[in-house]
Structure 1
Amino acid sequence: MLDVRRLHMLKTVAARGSIAAAAQSLALSAGAVSQQLSALRRDAGVDLLRPDGRTVALTEAGRVLLEHAERILAAVQEAESALAAVKGTVGATVTLAALPSTVDRRPLTVARIVAPALTALGSHHPQLTVTCHVTDQAQLRELTLGTVDMVLGQWYHHLPDATPRGIEVYPLLDDPLIVVTAADRADERPVALRDLAAHSLAVPPPTTDCGQAILHACHQAGFTPTTRYVTADIAAQLTLARAGLATALVPRTAIDPATPGIRTAPIEDRPILRLPFAATRHTETANPTTTAVIAALRTAARQGRAMHLPAD
């Protein structure tokens, strides 16, 4: 009979491209992974992997087995969720990965969403331990591999949806980018995106989701932005705006509109929406632990948003 743990190793090796990378991901030695894959090969009675330069690739049999392995592993996940639902109690552990967006050298996502959510969870579910990894590798693929239980990420509505199959996404809030200038350079009236064609902008690199979304929105508005300053550091963008050197486009929840020396204004015609989300592996039966964590993240995100809305 095929071993579920070995099927998971095969899936991880296929995704990572090498036994060494898979071993690092699984917190095992390369020798241990090789031994388990050799045992899986004996169980299957056919080669599942072949050398491919410095990496390995699936054989035809390996591809067939991987297709079935993904369904088997999803069924195991579904069974675990169904049992948890029957028990009706929040579990003991969750591993969460979050992107390290920062402002004023503080982890923005951690300060505004994760920390308040964990505080609330600690009060309502003291038996639950949440391990949080703040990492650039907070990718949805990590969910499919089982490296983490949940990802706190972000998506921009100008970009195509790239959610992998089998992943459930839970939107936390809409967080539009706002126009930030020096306090003496503009008023707080809404700005048409096309008006920014005459501005020197401080924006994230085009290799980032935010940078891509800004470029795409500007192109849709009929112009190519003048990006004189390129930085993903929100604090640096605000410094440049405060000095009158550039106009910044910054998520609304990232700053306090009352910050001295700057003025903020919404984009009225072509809003650029940052959409923070929590994501988990999809199951037909809701897992009480997942439900509790998502509810805490959603509450924290919305409370954080309310704190950073301009006063009427």
Structure 2
Amino acid sequence: MLDIRRLHMLKTVAARGSIAAAAQSLALSAGAVSQQLAALRREVGVDLLRPDGRTVALTEAGRVLLQHADRILAAVHEAESAVAAVRGAVGATATLAALPSTVARIVAPALTALGSDHPQLSVTCLVTDQAQLRELTLGTVDVVLGQRYHHLLDATPRGIELSPLLDDPLLVVTAEDRAEGRPVALRELATHDLAVPPPTTECGQAILQACHQAGFTPTARYVTADIAAQLTLARAGLATALVPRTAIDPAAPGIRTARIEDRPIQRLLFAATRHSEAANPTTAAVVAALRTATRQDRTQRLRPA
């Protein structure tokens, strides 16, 4: 009988691209992972991996086995969720992956509420903007607070369930004394020096493609994924930034924000979990807390000053 843990290792190696990277994410030594994969190879009687430059790739047999492994591991997750649903109690641990731009206004309030409502639940939060949904499919995290830009292709992996939280536009941010705060056309930014995320990030790619669709290539004078740095550059009058509304403190001094009126760059913030027929009480509690924090933040923004 095939060992489920070895199937999970095979899936992790395929996703990470190397045994060393897989071992690091599994908190094991590379030797231990190699031994388990060698045992899996003996069980099936055929090579599952082959060298591919500095990485490894699946053989045809490895790809076939991985397809079945995905279904097997999904069935195991379904069983775990069903048992948790019968138990009906929120568990002791959960791991949340969240975007840096959501920490102040959504994640922190949600975790505070979880600590009050479910004191037995310890949530580990990974703040990252890289490959969150992949981590969810690998079981590294339980809930993802992620994003999808409306004008980019939807790349949500199979087996992932999305719960929409908020449509969050990017705002044009400038120094308070450099702009009127009126809505602007995206094309107007063709003459601006911009502070933008790297094009390898999802936000950077969204900005680049939106500008190309508007007929110009943006002048990326400052390239950084650090939103605090982008806002500092805008406040100093050195650049114009494009920053998600959720990441901007409405009371922050020295800056002025404006919406893009003709070609808005808008992201959907969502909570993502692995799909299961039976709701897992622990992940459901985390998603509910994120939804409540999002709703409260939106209410505060709409409240008259």
TM over 0.5: yes
Please report the TM-score for the alignment, with normalisation by the length of structure 1: 0.88
Deviation at 1:15, TM superposition (A): 2.0
Matched, 1:243 2:236: yes
Q: Which residue of 1 aligns with 2:37?
A: 37
**1:113-146 Cα shifts (integer Å, max 9, x gaps):** 2221111111111221111122354521111111
Secondary structure of the corresponding residue to residue 158 of structure 1: coil
Q: Which residue of 1 aligns with 2:89?
A: 89
Which consecutive aligned stretches of 4+ in structure 1 deviate over 6 angstroms post-superposition? none
Q: Which residue of 1 aligns with 2:9?
A: 9
- Residues in 2 aligned to 1:53 and 1:210: alpha-carbon distance in whole angstroms: 31
Secondary structure of the corresponding residue to residue 94 of structure 2: strand
Please report the TM-score for the alignment, with normalisation by the length of structure 2: 0.90
Secondary structure of the corresponding residue to residue 165 of structure 1: coil
Matched to 1:67, the amino acid is Q
Deviation at 1:309, TM superposition (A): 5.3
Aligned residues: 305
Deviation at 1:310, TM superposition (A): 8.1
Worse overlay, 123-132 or 133-142: 133-142
Task: Decide whether the 8 Å contact of 1:138 with 1:151 is kept in 2.
Answer: no
Task: Decide whether the 8 Å contact of 2:143 with 2:286 is kept in 1.
Answer: no
Deviation at 1:195, TM superposition (A): 2.8
**1:17-73 Cα shifts (integer Å, max 9, x gaps):** 332222222112223222322322232233333344443333332222111111111
Show the 5 A alignment for 1:119-158: 119-158=112-151
- Residues in 1 aligned to 2:262 and 2:28: alpha-carbon distance in whole angstroms: 52
* Equivalent residue in structure 1 for 2:153, among 142, 160, 174: 160
**Percent identity of paired positions between Structure 1 and Structure 2:** 85
- Residues in 1 aligned to 2:37 and 2:229: alpha-carbon distance in whole angstroms: 49
Q: Which residue of 1 aligns with 2:79?
A: 79
Matched to 2:97, the amino acid is A
Matched, 1:49 2:41: no
Q: Which residue of 2 aligns with 1:69?
A: 69
**In structure 2, do the counterparts of structure 1 residues 182 and 29 end up closer, same or farther at CA, with 3 Å as the change threshold?**
closer
* Runs (5+) with no aligned partner, structure 1: 102-107
Q: Which residue of 2 aligns with 1:210?
A: 203
Secondary structure of the corresponding residue to residue 173 of structure 2: strand
* Runs (5+) with no aligned partner, structure 2: none
Matched to 1:120, the amino acid is A
**In structure 2, do the counterparts of structure 1 residues 2 and 193 end up closer, same or farther at CA, with 3 Å as the change threshold?**
same
Deviation at 1:272, TM superposition (A): 1.0
**In structure 2, do the counterparts of structure 1 residues 53 and 292 end up closer, same or farther at CA, with 3 Å as the change threshold?**
same
Q: Which residue of 1 aligns with 2:19?
A: 19
- Residues in 2 aligned to 1:56 and 1:220: alpha-carbon distance in whole angstroms: 38
Matched to 1:212, the amino acid is Q
Q: Which residue of 2 aligns with 1:304?
A: 297
Deviation at 1:157, TM superposition (A): 1.7
Show the 5 A alignment for 1:189-200: 189-200=182-193
Secondary structure of the corresponding residue to residue 216 of structure 1: helix
Matched, 1:268 2:258: no
- Residues in 2 aligned to 1:33 and 1:180: alpha-carbon distance in whole angstroms: 48
Matched, 1:176 2:169: yes
- Residues in 1 aligned to 2:151 and 2:71: alpha-carbon distance in whole angstroms: 32
Deviation at 1:217, TM superposition (A): 1.8
Secondary structure of the corresponding residue to residue 172 of structure 1: strand
**In structure 2, do the counterparts of structure 1 residues 135 and 187 end up closer, same or farther at CA, with 3 Å as the change threshold?**
closer
Matched, 1:28 2:21: no
Task: Decide whether the 8 Å contact of 2:170 with 2:259 is kept in 1.
Answer: yes
**What do you get for the CA RMSD once the two structures are aligned?**
2.3
